[in-house]
Amino acid sequence: MLLYKAIVAKPDTHLQTVDLPYGNDPTQPSPITFGNELRGIVGGWLEAIQLTPKLTMYINEEGKLQGLPFNPHATRIAHYYCLPIDDFIVGTAVIIGGPDEHGNDTPLAPDMHMELMEIAYGNLEGNRERADRDLLNSLANHIVWGNG
């Protein structure tokens, strides 16, 4: 059985590293089997969020309509990479590697596990957070001191 490393982020628990079945033959992975496994974890139809070329987050496409609970860890990770600050993730999220040259899913690279954990638990500041902080500091300086 071919297994893919992934991180599962549930709304009410810590992140978990898991091995997901991708098929029986390493030379012929089965995207259909993998898709069914992912749908089972997120609890519905899949929505893929391409975080980076090397990272994909899968969530329940109808999670907000279904009233699924807010997922703080997955939201923090998505904000760090690409998600607009006024958007958020609900329900369970699965993070794997980005697509290969054929568009097929890939396993999560081993070096990404620690980075994702640090982001999820607030130990790394993303580009967007730095930019927001710098903008707010600049505006505060302008308002208080009249500096432009």
Query: Under a CB-based contact definition with an 8 Å cutoff, are residues 48 and 60 in contact?
Result: no
Is the pTM higher than 0.85?
A: no
102 vs 72: which has the higher pLDDT:
72
The region of weakest confidence among 18-27, 43-52, 65-74, 87-96 is: 18-27
pLDDT digits (tens, 9 = 90+) for 92-122: 999 999 988 888 888 899 889 888 988 888 7
> What is d(CA 87, CA 105) in angstroms, rounded to the nearest whole number?
25
